[in-house]
Structure formats: structure tokens, C-alpha cells
Homo-oligomer: A and B are copies of this chain.
Amino acid sequence: MVAGAVVLASILPVQQLRAEDGYELWLRYRPVESAHAGEYRGAVMQLVAAATTPTQIVTRAELRRGLGGLLGAAVPLSDVVTSNGALIVGTPASSPLVGKLELDTDQLGGDGYLIRSVIVDGHRATVIAANDDLGALYGAFHFLRLLQTRQSLDRIDVRVIPRIKLRVLNHWDNLDGHVERGYAGASIWDWHKLPDWVDPRYTDYARANASLGINGTVLNNVNSNALSLTPMYLAKAAALANVLRPYGIRVYLSARFSAPKEIGGLKTADPLDSAVRRWWKDKADEIYKTIPDFGGFLVKANSEGQPGPQDYGRSHADGANMLADALAPHGGVVMWRAFVYSSEQPDDRAKQAYTEFVPLDGKFRDNVIVQVKNGAIDFQPREPFHPLFGAMPKTPLMMEFQITKEYLGFATHLAYLGTLYQETLQSDTMAQGQGSTVARVIDGSLHGHKVTGMAGVANIGTDRNWSGSHFDQANWYAYGRLAWDPSQSSREIARDWVRMTFSNDQPFVDSVVDMMMGSREAVVDYMTPLGLHHLMGRDHHYGPGPWVAGGPRADWTSVYYHRADRNGIGFDRSATGSNAVAQYAPPLADSFGDVKRVPEQFLLWFHHLPWDYRTRSGRPLWDELVHRYTRGVNEVKKMRTTWDGLRGHVDAERHAQVAAFLAIQQKEAQWWRDASIAYFQRINGLPLPPGYAPPAQPLEYYEALSFPYAPGNG
């Protein structure tokens, strides 16, 4: 039956073949056009790759799948090179051929690789070589990408080493299948059926991540449940670890700090209590019996109501070090989050992580890494880099980016985050003078750290296309590529992604990449221009809510952040205000604190200014805000026009969904603009500048909108 289907497939109508539903992500491996097919077929006439270890097996399988798809026919396997066009894959240990080539693999480490055109026994060949199997797998994905993006295979000489050691996804997935801030359906982890049913999707998840070099995944939410550490759930996590292991991906768990009480029967979780310390040691031993390559713990402690060492008068270092001691014998690490703020309200929440963590610099164990969000508030469309970067020279700091778009339009808004990540990574902390970029803090080169890491809060769910929208796949992709090497260009990454995901048609690629590159700025414009931040709907964070006030704490409201009144708007974080600018290195503190020198994109982040303050365009502040809100909406309109013009360059199914989502984005961008303008206009009583349309509805309309079932909440 199945064989019959294959024979007949070629005469079936197109729609009978697989729909382009996005499931395959950037690993689509569709046949290359004839212009390139000849060169590629000539370059890959035979595949010489061992398949003894699990990683070797998946490496060879991926190459056969990928090359078979791209070249339209299975590539023959061979043990030896018998003709021009051999592709040789392996390590000096696994492949005598690779060994004989005496390649300079010394500096590659375990994950690095090289791809090089070589001559073997008089035949032209390409070698993918690494020191470890995993490096060869990464190299194989790189080689496939060369074909997927139509690069020449002539005289290749590629040598790639990751600059970050721990490249990790954080799943904010609960045991009941809900994904906090998830907009792509439910958790892909089917905890109920694990470990007995191991969904083949987990393998595709592993492939996609390995193709980017991601080598770790935290399976459960940082707002964690102690049950994740019970034997029943450890067996489930172990089943996942077994799937991920050949792809070089280690499993981590978010650890609930109070677990010794909740599942251990202890009366305390005090990190200096010997019974507690014993409990965690035993728990670590138990975990490593089940998952021998377990990565370690991620911990959110004393933050937003989570338990932590401060409950017992201990410091974050006390808590982290206790867990680190339990994991150390097994080689595990503790990723301790710096996203903390106590229940007392500070004068400025933006200052709190710095205030709490800088005094702890140097007090953490070697296997602790402090995980810091890109900005000091919470994954806003734009934030200045977090002042902790550069301020803890004795402590390795790990970047935490959010891939899921909690604050950038959920799944429907097209917002490419590569530019956001790059903007943060390329920010200069000035900690050791010019060139002390955040990237150099993260990659350990600035302060000489060996444990380095980057975390991305995953946007993955059970939706067929994994990420809720086709373009949100690009954010997973860009995160992974930047975690490997934070110096990469977000535009180059977007280009690769478009080619692999959609098409190599040059006009299509150019148009779509341009659209992506401007997309996040459009969101900033229609949501939070000029440094405004945290103005979204309460709890679910869906849509505009600049009027949000009251409730349990001031720093969960919008009015706390925009501080708009009849006279002006903005959060004064200069020396006349909260002085948060002083948390940055002196040259930056000076410029951020000076209204004349602060980058205008952070104007109202750092300064409270009168509505008639003259901005750099010459427009008064109020007019500039209205201008930017409107510009954001117009940008979305342009994106729609661009996309509509690309119909026919891409399959109808994905085109239709993107078009529908862009229509939603335009509607919601207009909603953000109109609601924000209506609200601020009530505050300042000012007219709109000429030529700008008034909000479509009165303010009361926007305030009354209610979305109790917006996704991702809780």
C-alpha cells in the first residue's frame, strides 16, 4: 500500500501531497532548483559516515534525510572514497579517513567543527570533522544549511566554534500541560503518557534544536512544582532525556526551593539546615541515577511569591550554593535567576536585581551561573540592557531572552526578535572600557569565565507549526543561532531562516528579510514608543492597558511606569529621580542620565519630561508620541502590502495564515495606538497634532474591554 502511494504520487494533484503546515520548521529539505542541483549532486556522490554511536546514527540519518530531500535521491553510503564527491563525516576517533587527514581540530573543543574541501586518495571530497560526535552532528546541520541556502560547495573552508557553553531553552510548561505565556497551544510534553508513550515529535524537537546548537532544555516552568522532582516525574523526564541525548541536549529541571518540605517531609527548606542539605544531596544522587547526564537546576527564588532562601534570612548565594554542592559531584550546574523582587516595594523595581545581587559577586560556587533577563523590567518590546551585565565580574552571568512574545503581540504579531537580541548583545556596558559588550560578558571573555550560558524562554507548543505562527519560528531560530555565537548578524540569520523556511527566490528573500528587520521597531512604536514600558493589560498582558492602576502592588501597574500627569510623562531614573542610571558604568550613567544625551529610544525610560518637551525631530513630546504610535500602525500596513505582493512566491497555506495574522496585527496595532492616545489625551488634555486621526472609540470603550480567556495567563 505505502509503496503504491509513492509510485502514484507524481501524478496526483499537488494538494494531495503534504501541506506546508510549518511542522518541518527550517528543516524542510525540499528539492533544490536545477540551477544548483548539478553542483550539489556532484559534490555529494557518496556519504562516508560511521553509525556506531547514537549520535553518529542520528547524524548519518539526518544527512540522508536532508540530502535525499534536497537532491531528490538517496545518497549512497560508502566505507571508502571511490570517486569524486564524497562527503566524509566523523571524528579522528570514529573515522580513519578523518584521522588520516590530520586536520587542525585541536581548538575545536567538543562542539566545534570544520567543513573543508579536501582530496582523498586523489578524489575531491568534503570533510565534516570534529573532535566529538556532537561536533560532527552540528557540522552536518551546517553542511545541510549550505545547500538549503544555496551556498557554493566549492573550496569550502568553514571552521566554527560556539562562543557560549550552555545554550538552553527554558520551557515555562506546567505539569497540567498549560504553558505560562505560551501562545502555541499546550505543552509538547505529554506528562500523563510519559514515560510509556514517547511522542515522535520529541525527536523532531531534538533535531530542530540540535540544528541550532541548542544543548540544554529546562523541561518545566520556573514557577515550579515540587512534584517534578518525585520519582514518578523523574522517570518521565528520563524518557525525554533518552530521546534528546543523541542530539546532545541535556535535560534540566526547575527546582522548587521548598521541595524538601513539600515532597521531602521536612519542616524547613533553610539552605543552611543540614537535613535540607542532605535532602538535596540525596535528591541529586537519585536524579543522576535516573538521568546520568542531567544538566542541573534552574531556580526562581524569592521572586513573585516563589519560595527561596530569604524566607529563612539567607541570601541568594546561600540558596544557590547549597544546590550547587548537591550537584557538583555529578557535574551539574545551578542556573540561579536574578529576576527577583521582594514583596516590599522599592522606589524603582528596575533597580532591585542589581541591588540584591551585586553585593553577592564572588560568593557563588563555581558551578553556579546567575541568569539575568536582558532588561531590568520584564521582556518589554525595548529595554536598555540589564545593569547587572558588567557589574558582577566575579560571577558568570547567563543571558535570559524571551522567545515567546508575552509583550510583543502573542502569536499573531509579526515581530522578529533577532534585532532585539542583537541590540542587547551589542550594547556596550563600558565595564572595562569601550568594547565591553553584553555579548562579551555573556561569552565569558570580558571577565574570564569558563561557565557561560544563554537561556531562551521557549515559544514552543503543540500547535502544528510549533510556535503559534510561522514567523515566530524565526525567533526560536534566531535565539539558537545567537546562543551559539552572539556576534552573528540578525539580518544574516533572518536571511538563512527565510531561505530554509520559505524560499530561495531572491526578491522574496529580500522583501521578507526587510519586513522582519523592521518588525520589532514597529511593535515598539505602536505599543511603547520613546522608552515607555509595561503598559499592557493586567495579568494576561493582552492589548493596551495604560490605565491599569491599583491592585496588590504598584509595580504591577502601568501608572507606576509611565507616571503621566497633566504636566508630563516618563519615569525619572536620573539622579533627580530613582537614580537607576547610577547602576550603569559611569560613562553610560552620565549619558543615560542626561536628557540631552540619552538615546531617544530610552527617553521616557530614564526621564520624566513635560508634554511640550522638544524631541530631536523638533516635534513636541506629545506630538512625537502620537507620530510614533501612528508610524507603528503604518508600518504594519506596509508589512501587509509587502506580504500580499508575495502571494505566489510561497505556498498558499502558509501565505494565508500569515496574511490573516497580519490583519489581526493591524487591527491590534490600531487598538494599541488608539487606546494609548485616548488615555494620554485624557491625562494631558492636549489636542492631536494636525493630520492625525483621533482614536476610533472613546477611552471608556477601550477600558471596558475584557479578555478573561486570553491565552498564556497563569
Chain B: minimal CB distance from A144 (Å): 14
Q: Quick one: which of B6, B13, B186, B663 contacts A68, CB cutoff 8 A?
A: B13
Copies of the chain in the assembly = 2
Chain B: minimal CB distance from A228 (Å): 11
Which A residues between 5 and 27 are near B, CB-CB below 8 angstroms? 5-18
Residue A176 at the chain B interface, CB threshold 8 Å: yes
Q: Is the CB of A18 within 8 A of B17?
A: yes
Known: A185-B462, A196-B663. A31 touches B2 (CB 8 A): no
Known: A74-B13, A664-B197. A651 touches B31 (CB 8 A): no
List chain B residues, Cβ under 8 A from A330: none
* Closest partner residue, chain B, to A657 (CB atom): B197
Known: A18-B17, A186-B186, A197-B660. A30 touches B10 (CB 8 A): no
Q: How far is the CA of A411 from the CA of B190 in the complex (A)?
A: 12
Q: Quick one: which of B6, B33, B72, B463 contacts A14, CB cutoff 8 A?
A: B6
* Interface hit among A89-97, A590-598, A706-714: A706-714
Which A residues between 175 and 219 are near B, CB-CB below 8 angstroms? 175-177, 185-186, 191-193, 196-198, 200
Interface string of A630-654 (1 = CB under 8 A from B): 0000000000000000000001010
Q: Is the CB of B13 within 8 A of A17?
A: no
Q: How far is the CA of A97 from the CA of B632 in the complex (A)?
A: 58
Residue A412 at the chain B interface, CB threshold 8 Å: yes
Q: How far is the CA of A146 from the CA of B30 in the complex (A)?
A: 36
Q: How far is the CA of A6 from the CA of B8 in the complex (A)?
A: 11
Q: How far is the CA of A374 from the CA of B341 in the complex (A)?
A: 55
Q: Is the CB of A30 within 8 A of B14?
A: no
Q: Quick one: which of B16, B200, B411, B656 contacts A69, CB cutoff 8 A?
A: B16
List chain B residues, Cβ under 8 A from A464: 464
* Closest partner residue, chain B, to A649 (CB atom): B1
Interface core residue of A1, A10, A196, A227 (most chain B CB under 10 Å): A1
Q: Is the CB of A4 within 8 A of B17?
A: no
Q: Is the CB of A16 within 8 A of B462?
A: no
Q: Is the CB of A12 within 8 A of B653?
A: no
Which A residues between 572 and 586 are near B, CB-CB below 8 angstroms? none
Chain B: minimal CB distance from A517 (Å): 24
Chain B: minimal CB distance from A422 (Å): 30
Q: How far is the CA of A506 from the CA of B649 in the complex (A)?
A: 45
Known: A186-B462, A660-B197, A664-B197. A10 touches B7 (CB 8 A): yes
List chain B residues, Cβ under 8 A from A176: 709
List chain B residues, Cβ under 8 A from A193: 411-412, 664
Q: Is the CB of A708 within 8 A of B227?
A: yes
Q: How far is the CA of A145 from the CA of B595 in the complex (A)?
A: 74
Q: How far is the CA of A15 from the CA of B651 in the complex (A)?
A: 21
Q: How far is the CA of A396 from the CA of B192 in the complex (A)?
A: 41
Known: A12-B68, A185-B186. A196 touches B18 (CB 8 A): no
* Closest partner residue, chain B, to A664 (CB atom): B196
List chain B residues, Cβ under 8 A from A186: 177, 185-186, 462
Q: Is the CB of A2 within 8 A of B651?
A: yes
Q: Is the CB of B462 within 8 A of A65?
A: no
Known: A9-B9, A69-B12. A191 touches B709 (CB 8 A): yes
Q: Quick one: which of B6, B200, B462 contacts A462, CB cutoff 8 A?
A: B462
Q: Is the CB of B16 within 8 A of A2?
A: no
Q: Is the CB of B15 within 8 A of A660?
A: no
* Closest partner residue, chain B, to A10 (CB atom): B10
Q: Is the CB of B660 within 8 A of A8?
A: no
List chain B residues, Cβ under 8 A from A9: 6, 9-10, 17
Chain B: minimal CB distance from A449 (Å): 38
* Closest partner residue, chain B, to A230 (CB atom): B706
Residue A693 at the chain B interface, CB threshold 8 Å: no
List chain B residues, Cβ under 8 A from A33: 1, 4
Q: Is the CB of A72 within 8 A of B11?
A: yes
Residue A683 at the chain B interface, CB threshold 8 Å: no
Residue A661 at the chain B interface, CB threshold 8 Å: yes
List chain B residues, Cβ under 8 A from A12: 6, 68-69, 72-73
Residue A503 at the chain B interface, CB threshold 8 Å: yes
* Closest partner residue, chain B, to A69 (CB atom): B16
* Closest partner residue, chain B, to A16 (CB atom): B69
List chain B residues, Cβ under 8 A from A664: 193, 196-197
Q: Is the CB of A196 within 8 A of B72?
A: no
Q: Is the CB of A196 within 8 A of B462?
A: no
Interface string of A57-74 (1 = CB under 8 A from B): 000000011001100111
Q: How far is the CA of A664 from the CA of B197 in the complex (A)?
A: 8
Interface residues of A, Cβ cutoff 8 Å to B: 1-18, 29-31, 33, 64-65, 68-69, 72-74, 175-177, 185-186, 191-193, 196-198, 200, 227, 411-412, 462-464, 503, 505, 651, 653, 656-657, 660-661, 663-664, 667, 707-711
What 20 additional pairs, Cβ within 8 angstroms, besides A1-B33, A5-B31, A9-B9? A1-B503, A1-B505, A2-B14, A4-B31, A6-B10, A7-B10, A9-B10, A12-B72, A13-B65, A18-B18, A176-B709, A177-B186, A185-B185, A185-B186, A192-B707, A192-B709, A196-B664, A197-B657, A197-B664, A462-B463
CB-based closest 9 A-B pairs: A10-B10, A8-B72, A18-B18, A8-B31, A9-B9, A175-B709, A176-B709, A196-B664, A197-B660
Can you pick out 6 interface pairs between chain A and chain B where the beta carbons lie within 8 Å of each other?
A6-B12, A12-B68, A13-B68, A15-B65, A192-B711, A464-B464
